[in-house]
Structure 1
Amino acid sequence: MRFATSLTALAVLPGIFAAPTTLGHRTDSTSSASSRADAVKQTFQIAWNGYQKYAFPNDELHPVSNSFSNSRNGWGASAADAITTAIVMDLPDIVNVILNYIPTINWGVSYQNEAVSLFETTIRYMAGMLSAYDLLNGPCSGMANNTGNVAQLLQQAQNLANNLSYAFDTPTGIPSNNLILANRSNDGSTTNSIATIGTLVLEWTRLSDLTGNTKYGQLAQKAESYLLNPQPSWAQPWPGLVGTNVDIASGQFADASGGWNGGDDSFYEYLIKMYVYDSSRFGTYKDRWVAAADSTINYLASHPSSRPDLTWLAAFNNQTTNENSGHLACFDGGNFILGGLVLKKQQYVDFGLSLVSGCEDTYTQTLTGIGPEGFGWNSSTIPSGQEAFYQKAGFYITSSQYILRPEVIESFYYAYRATGDTKYQDWAWNAFLAINSTTHVGSGYSEISNVNAANGGSFLDFQDSFFFAEVLKYSYLIQAADAVYQVNHRGANQFVFNTEAHPFKVAGTPI
């Protein structure tokens, strides 16, 4: 099936594949990796051209109907997510279109006055601007036609933070996530999740460090403090692993259910990334990551009965595990690898590599060569009709969509940067070919309904902004030459990627 998918992709990307490639084997050469990077760049340009023609400056392209939507405030989410990928791909024409647009955004007005997610806005808009500022003032300087627009990136990031910062005006300092900007209110939610609380600290701290105004980082770090010291004690079933929802008024955890899936995922991701960002200030974050990592290895690592060679992470409710996961959680291998590299602990790298292999299997087993949104491996709850699939694959599908998610390729990227083993480049290339051939439609690339159906089932007519920021950036960087913004560049990390794959300059690192 891999080979058939590859042939389809060749037709989609004519003229790029002059250099021979051998899929699924450790046979990459510098020239073939370079041609692969060029192919990813061409896909980025196709996706951008469709977006610019039919959707810009709205949030997302609908590539089938050549229309658009505004699910992320109407401020141009795809442009904000695309800018750093365009920078590292050296596409100055696209970079300057976005640079000219960003100063025009009014952060005080959202599309149809809809609620603004503090979390999503931070990881996409604020992060995209801060990262572009770091890159264009550092290793990618000289790309902007108007240097004043580069300065505007930081000014607009600060303006955005000023519009959002009232979210932290709560009894505890734990923010409300869904904000109604018109009257500086929120949606009335009484709890917030550890992911939406704990995935602000990198961006808001970087903003403080760049502006010299400490209030931004202090807001996010105060909110984080409730996650670093969880109360009550029962909310931490195992050391470092905590529940999902926190009461905004009291700071008390409301449950003891969680894992590395959505709602929890990037809280754990940012613990080690804050230590990468500044080890002198965020040693406590590292300690909490180590505790969570050790407990995860000891209590959540799980192997399906039909494929004991595979490893995934179970969810938990108190100390009862639940054998289900999904595409979102497949960042976990890359996060363990990063932690192992930074802490010089090979056991974390090795465990991360085992998770990477398990997530790769979710791709190789489906008809499209793309992994599903959700999967499980509890042998007592196999859905009717999936018994044979479970015996072969080690998992059954609980949600068959693919919504242009990046996490599996993200972990391939970290695996390659840690080991230099070209099989991870091949795995990423195979994934890229499958995604490119299956999701390409009309003016861009679309979510699909069923990864285990011929041609992906049906098109859902939606091109997510993170397709630009993450899928195509990681697909490109794993094939591209080493550079200062690459993970583990010459054995060190001079940049750290936020959860949306926007690279931030590590604090105190000269460029």
Structure 2
Amino acid sequence: MLLISTVALVATLGSIGATAAPNKLHSQRANQPKQNVPRYSGPPKYTVNQERADAVKQAFQISWDGYSKYAFPHDSLRPVKNRYYDDRNGWGASAIDAISTALVMKNWDAVEQIVQYIPKIDFSKTTDDVSLFETTIRYLGGLLSAYDLMSANATGHTFAPSDLSAILEQAVHLADNLKVAFDTPSGVPDNDLRFDPPRRVGSETNGLATIGTLVLEWTRLSDLTGNPEYAKLAQRGEGYLLDPQPRELGEPFPGLLGTDVNITTGKFVDGSGGWGGGDDSFYEYLIKMYLYDPVRFPTYRDRWTAAVDSSIKYLVSHPTSRPDLTYLAMWDNQTLQFYGEHLACFNGGNFILGGILLDRPEYITFGLELVDSCRNTYISTSTNIGPETFRWQDSRTPLNASNNPAPPSGMKDFYAASGFWIDSPNYVLRPEVIESYYYAYRATGDAKYQEWAWDAFLAINGTCRVGSGYSSVNDVNAPLGGGFSDFQESFWFAEVLKYSYLIHAEDAVWQVQANPGGNEFVYNTECHPIRVARGGKP
């Protein structure tokens, strides 16, 4: 693929469907009554926008070229100073996170570079602590996804059997080093490890997401290798989350759990949680495990349904200044906390996916409400990008309650117009809002979600593009994003660019399908497509 210049890319992006500044829309909507959200009404029709898809490909190329020149085979690029940073054990996190996106984009030069690198990684050596969770979703998920996409001939490109074998061998090598994490009295894994030799750090607790976001990748590895050990290890730890104890502490609402679990006993030690960071992908994987194999994992479906029903019953919150918006509160036992995160904005897409799979239009309808409201966090800021965290005042809770404070004095006008105030203003190249646009589009075929995703991509390109790539920024409500943190996250390749591309690209076997039985792949939480295995067949 030819690399166009930065100037040419910006010109291209500016000429394809650019719209008026979306942040001006919120003032027009502030006093409007809530609209009925369209319900799922059968197989949607999709529209390919090749110019936009190609523009996203060019953003990938710029990002990849910068990383390849200044950081490869290290983990991440610092695009301002043109340096590298080993934030994920020095095994080339950006390369492994990029390979599934390069495959679906058919960027064969990048694919070849990564495929040739994979056998050279020594997953037994690192000087840094190893996160079981992060290593699983980025490295193990990336390797398994590459294997699935390449071996299934899903891309139409033929790969050497030796390349496929090397990828799967490296996945096994990595998992064999990581599996010491499960050597605990309960089987609940320790998230914090050290290698050379592999050993646990000795944590006392582990979290809901870091226990509950392993089962897809580790089960897939067992299915591909025929070795049941990997699946058994992850599923044993997951079992403590499917049957939380003590229930009166660990499950404040039916299906909604606390966060921290004692590694020795497998019991919950708190009842605080939410759909945000630290908890999010546990709920995400419940319905995705059912998609992966409905024969083996109906219990996961039932636990997801319980969580979703409780969320709708207990957590729904409408801001005092914008009752048209719908957010999900966090909880501290049964006390609600009116606090949101960019991370939590995956929830709309997850509700939509579950609605598709279970043929429950009401879940899709509610998920679309959440998508609309997360979009509001984008169109309300000066950069048209949503903040890392935000807060609001709930319309149904007493305004003098300790858990329902008014906005800070400096944010009152902003809150009056936008229905939230900014808590943490940074943006670290997160994908969740665009991710939910993608699921909304695939469920409905409504082109407005393509427009919203394009608006977000234009805003991110205009704010985060710098030097040899793209960088996190400090303040989404400040001119030019308030400055650069000089860090290009590996998940920029895996998630933001993939979702931004897929929503405009042609249909393919890895695309989410609105037909409940039509999905051949399921995305792990890092947006790596994993081939589904119904009835235990890989």
TM-score grouping bracket, smaller chain normalisation: over 0.9
Partner in structure 1 of residue 441 of structure 2: 416
1:340 aligns with 2:355: yes
Counterpart of 2:533 in 1: which secondary structure? Answer: coil
Partner in structure 2 of residue 500 of structure 1: 526
Gaps of 5+ in 2: 1-5, 26-44, 394-403
Q: Deviations over 1:308-356 (max 9, x none)?
A: 0001111001110000011000000000000000000011101100000
Indicate how the Cα distance of structure 1 residues 144 and 117 shifts in structure 2: closer, same or farther if over 3 A, else same.
farther
CA distance in 2, matches of 1:12, 1:71: 29
Q: Deviations over 1:215-268 (max 9, x none)?
A: 000000000000000000212111100100000000010000001010100000
Letter in 2 for 1:43: A
Counterpart of 2:410 in 1: which secondary structure? Answer: coil
Q: Is the 8 A contact 1:336 1:348 kept in 2?
A: yes
Counterpart of 2:84 in 1: which secondary structure? Answer: strand
CA distance in 2, matches of 1:14, 1:120: 36
Match of 1:163 among 156, 165, 177: 177
Q: Is the 8 A contact 2:294 2:534 kept in 1?
A: no
CA distance in 2, matches of 1:478, 1:29: 9
1:485 aligns with 2:503: no
User: Aligned-pair distance for 1:153?
Assistant: 1.1
Match of 2:236 among 200, 222, 238: 222
CA distance in 2, matches of 1:437, 1:11: 13
Counterparts in 2 of 1:417-496, with a 5 A limit?
417-488=442-513, 492-496=518-522
CA distance in 1, matches of 2:343, 2:16: 33
Structure 1-normalised TM-score?
0.94
Match of 1:274 among 289, 293, 296: 289
Partner in structure 2 of residue 172 of structure 1: 186
Indicate how the Cα distance of structure 1 residues 19 and 314 shifts in structure 2: closer, same or farther if over 3 A, else same.
closer
Q: Is the 8 A contact 1:12 1:437 kept in 2?
A: no
Letter in 1 for 2:523: F
Partner in structure 1 of residue 32 of structure 2: none
Indicate how the Cα distance of structure 1 residues 357 and 172 shifts in structure 2: closer, same or farther if over 3 A, else same.
same
User: Aligned-pair distance for 1:211?
Assistant: 0.4
CA distance in 2, matches of 1:64, 1:384: 35
Indicate how the Cα distance of structure 1 residues 18 and 145 shifts in structure 2: closer, same or farther if over 3 A, else same.
farther
1:85 aligns with 2:110: no
Counterpart of 1:13 in 2: which secondary structure? Answer: helix
Gaps of 5+ in 1: 1-8
Counterpart of 2:109 in 1: which secondary structure? Answer: helix
Residue correspondences, number: 498
Counterparts in 2 of 1:230-245, with a 5 A limit?
230-234=244-248, 235-245=250-260
Indicate how the Cα distance of structure 1 residues 348 and 135 shifts in structure 2: closer, same or farther if over 3 A, else same.
same
Counterparts in 2 of 1:63-142, with a 5 A limit?
63-110=79-126, 113-140=127-154
CA distance in 2, matches of 1:69, 1:497: 27
Q: Deviations over 1:86-135 (max 9, x none)?
A: 0000111100100000011111101xx11000000000000001011111
User: Aligned-pair distance for 1:151?
Assistant: 1.8
Structure 2-normalised TM-score?
0.90
CA distance in 2, matches of 1:138, 1:29: 24
Q: Is the 8 A contact 1:482 1:489 kept in 2?
A: no
Counterparts in 2 of 1:190-209, with a 5 A limit?
190-209=204-223
Indicate how the Cα distance of structure 1 residues 142 and 419 shifts in structure 2: closer, same or farther if over 3 A, else same.
closer
- Give the percent of matched residue pairs that are identical in Structure 1 and Structure 2: 58
Q: Deviations over 1:457-490 (max 9, x none)?
A: 0000000000000000000000111111100166
Alignment RMSD, CA only? 2.0
Partner in structure 1 of residue 64 of structure 2: 48
Between 282-291 and 139-148, report the one with greater CA deviation: 139-148
Letter in 1 for 2:203: S
Letter in 1 for 2:81: S
Q: Is the 8 A contact 1:17 1:36 kept in 2?
A: no
User: Aligned-pair distance for 1:301?
Assistant: 1.1
User: Aligned-pair distance for 1:22?
Assistant: 6.0
User: Aligned-pair distance for 1:34?
Assistant: 1.1
User: Aligned-pair distance for 1:184?
Assistant: 2.7
Partner in structure 1 of residue 310 of structure 2: 295
Counterpart of 1:260 in 2: which secondary structure? Answer: coil
Counterpart of 2:123 in 1: which secondary structure? Answer: coil
Between 395-404 and 11-20, report the one with greater CA deviation: 11-20
User: Aligned-pair distance for 1:148?
Assistant: 1.2
CA distance in 1, matches of 2:304, 2:155: 34
CA distance in 2, matches of 1:182, 1:283: 39
Letter in 1 for 2:443: A
User: Aligned-pair distance for 1:138?
Assistant: 1.5
